[in-house]
C-alpha cells in the first residue's frame, strides 16, 4: 500500500491511504459462508453468479481510505466510554475494555464506492432479487477486505513508532450507538474519502466502513468477543463467524 501525505492536514495527523484493487484477496468461501452455505454446498447456479460478480469487481470498485490519529483518554468515573480529545464516545463495556488503555486512536474511513450499490438497486428494480442479494453480499465482503488492509497498514505505521494497536470497532456494532458516527466524522474533513453522512448516520456510499482503533504501548489486539456480546442478530457477528469458519475449513 502507498501512504499519501497529500497535505490534507499533516499537522493534525490526517492521512489518506491508496489501496490498489489487486491487493485485495476476495475469498469465495467467505462469500458462500456469509450467504449461509458451507464450503462446497452452495447450489451451482449461485456459485456461478458469485464468480460473475467477483469478475466485475475490478470495474466496479473505487477504493478510498484514510484515517486520523487523535489523542484519547479513559476516566473510570465516566463509565463505559473514552474521551477522544474533548469529546466523549459512549461505548459498551466490551469496546471500552479494549480501548481504555489507548493513548491515541485512529479514526478511519474506507469505501469501495457507489457502483456495487447501484448495481444492486438496478437488479432489484429488474426483479432479479437473488443476484441483487449476492451482489450486495460480495460488496460487503469486499469492503471488509479493504478495511483489513487499511487496518494492517495502520498497524505497520504504529510499529514503526514502537506502538501497538487494538482490533477495530465501528458504530452500530457491539452495542455502540450508530448515531455516534457523527462524533467520529467531526474529527475528519468534510467528505473525507468521498464519504458523506446523513442526519440518520447512514454513510454514503453505503458500502463504507468507519470506526476506531486503539493505539498505545499497553494496548493489545484481541479477537472479537462475539460470544460475549448480547446482540444476537448482528450482521457483523455473522461475517466474523463465517471468516473464522472459513479459516478452520481451509486448514
The string of DSSP codes covering 11-80 is GGTEEEEE--GGG----HHHHHHHTT--TT-S-HHHHHHHHHHHHHHHHH---EEEEEEEEEE--GGG-S
Using CA atoms, how far residue 135 sits from 33, 121, 131, in Å, is 14, 10, 6
- CATH code, domain with 244: 3.40.109.40
Q: Residue 3: its pLDDT value, please?
A: 59
* Domain carrying residue 107: 2-250
Number of domains the chain contains: 1
DSSP 194: G
**106-130 pLDDT, tens per residue?**
999 999 999 999 999 999 999 999 9
CA-CA distance, 101 to 82, in Å (whole number)? 10
**130-150 pLDDT, tens per residue?**
999 999 999 999 999 999 999
pTM of whole model > 0.75? yes
Provide the mean pLDDT of the chain. 87
Closest by Cα among 73, 28, 26 to 46: 28
CA-CA distance, 213 to 170, in Å (whole number)? 9
Name the helix (H) or strand (E) containing 142. Answer: helix 129-159
Amino acid at each position: 500500500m502507498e501512504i499519501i501525505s497529500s497535505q490534507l492536514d499533516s499537522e493534525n495527523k490526517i492521512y489518506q491511504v491508496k489501496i490498489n484493487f489487486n491487493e485485495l484477496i476476495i475469498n469465495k468461501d467467505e462469500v458462500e459462508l456469509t450467504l449461509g452455505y458451507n464450503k462446497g454446498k452452495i447450489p451451482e447456479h449461485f456459485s456461478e453468479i458469485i464468480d460473475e460478480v467477483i469478475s466485475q469487481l475490478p470495474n466496479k470498485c473505487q477504493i478510498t481510505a484514510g484515517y486520523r490519529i487523535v489523542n484519547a483518554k479513559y476516566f473510570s468515573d465516566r463509565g463505559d466510554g473514552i474521551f477522544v480529545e474533548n469529546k466523549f464516545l459512549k461505548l459498551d463495556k466490551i469496546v471500552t475494555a479494549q480501548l481504555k488503555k489507548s493513548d491515541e486512536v485512529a479514526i478511519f474511513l474506507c469505501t469501495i464506492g457507489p457502483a456495487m450499490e447501484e448495481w444492486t438497486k438496478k437488479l432489484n428494480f429488474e426483479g432479479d432479487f437473488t443476484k441483487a442479494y449476492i451482489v450486495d453480499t460480495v460488496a460487503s465482503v469486499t469492503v471488509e477486505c479493504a478495511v483489513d488492509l487499511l487496518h494492517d497498514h495502520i498497524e505497520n505505521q504504529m510499529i514503526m513508532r514502537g506502538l501497538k494497536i487494538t482490533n477495530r470497532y465501528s458504530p452500530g456494532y457491539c452495542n455502540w450507538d450508530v448515531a455516534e458516527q457523527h462524533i467520529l466524522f467531526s474529527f475528519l474533513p468534510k467528505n473525507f474519502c468521498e464519504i458523506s453522512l446523513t442526519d440518520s448516520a447512514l454513510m454514503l456510499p453505503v458500502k463504507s466502513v468507519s470506526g476506531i482503533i486503539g493505539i498505545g504501548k499497553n494496548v493489545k489486539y484481541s479477537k472479537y468477543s462475539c460470544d460475549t456480546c448480547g446482540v444476537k442478530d448482528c450482521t457483523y457477528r455473522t461475517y466474523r463467524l463465517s471468516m473464522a469458519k472459513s479459516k478452520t475449513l481451509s486448514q
